[in-house]
Amino acid sequence: RVNRSDFMHALDEVHPAFGVSEEELQAVIQNGIIRYDSTVDELLRSGSLLVEQVRTSKKAPVVNVLLHGPPGSGKTALAAAIAQASQFPFIKLITPDNMVGMGELQKISAITKVFSDSYKSPLSVVVVDNIERLIEWSPMGARYSNAVLQALMVLTNKLPPKDRRLLVIATTSNRPILTDLGFSEFNAVMRVPPITSLPALEYVIQEAELFPGDEDRRDAIRMLKDAGFDKKSRDDPTSRLQIGIKKLLSIIEMSRQEPDGVAERLVTALMELDL
Ligand code: ATP
Ligand code: MG
Average pLDDT estimate for 193-217: 95
Q: What is the pLDDT of residue 248?
A: 97
pLDDT in tens, 213-270: 899 999 999 999 988 887 765 555 556 789 999 999 999 999 999 989 999 999 999 9
| Helix/strand/coil for 64 | strand
Question: 25: Cβ below 6 Å to ligand 1?
Answer: no
Lowest-confidence pick of 41-50, 56-65, 107-116, 129-138 = 56-65
Mutational test site, ligand 1, from 38, 134, 191, 245, max ligand atoms within 8 Å of CB: 245
Cβ of residue 118 lying under 6 Å from some atom of ligand 1:
no
Helix (H, G, I), strand (E, B) or coil at 93: strand
CA distance 22 to 128: 17
**What atom of ligand 1 comes closest to residue 173's alpha carbon?**
2
**What is the rounded CA–CA span in Å between residue 93 and residue 160?**
18
Q: What ipTM does this complex have?
A: 0.99
Site to probe by mutation for ligand 1, drawn from 246, 248, 252 as the one with most ligand atoms within 8 Å of Cβ, is 246
Q: Which atom of ligand 1 is nearest to the CA of 70?
A: 2
**Which residues lie below 8 Å from residue 91, measured CB to CB, with a gap of 6+?**
19, 20, 21, 25, 83, 84, 124, 125, 126, 127
- CB within 8 Å of 264: residues ≥ 6 apart: none
* Residues across the chain: 275
Catalogue all structural domains in the chain, each as residue range(s) with its CATH number: 12-191 (3.40.50.300), 198-273 (no CATH)
User: From the CA of 5, how far away is ligand 1's center (Å)?
Assistant: 40
Q: Is the CB of 80 under 6 A from ligand 1?
A: no
Residue nearest to atom 21 of ligand 1 (CA): 31
**Position with higher pLDDT, 275 vs 3:** 3
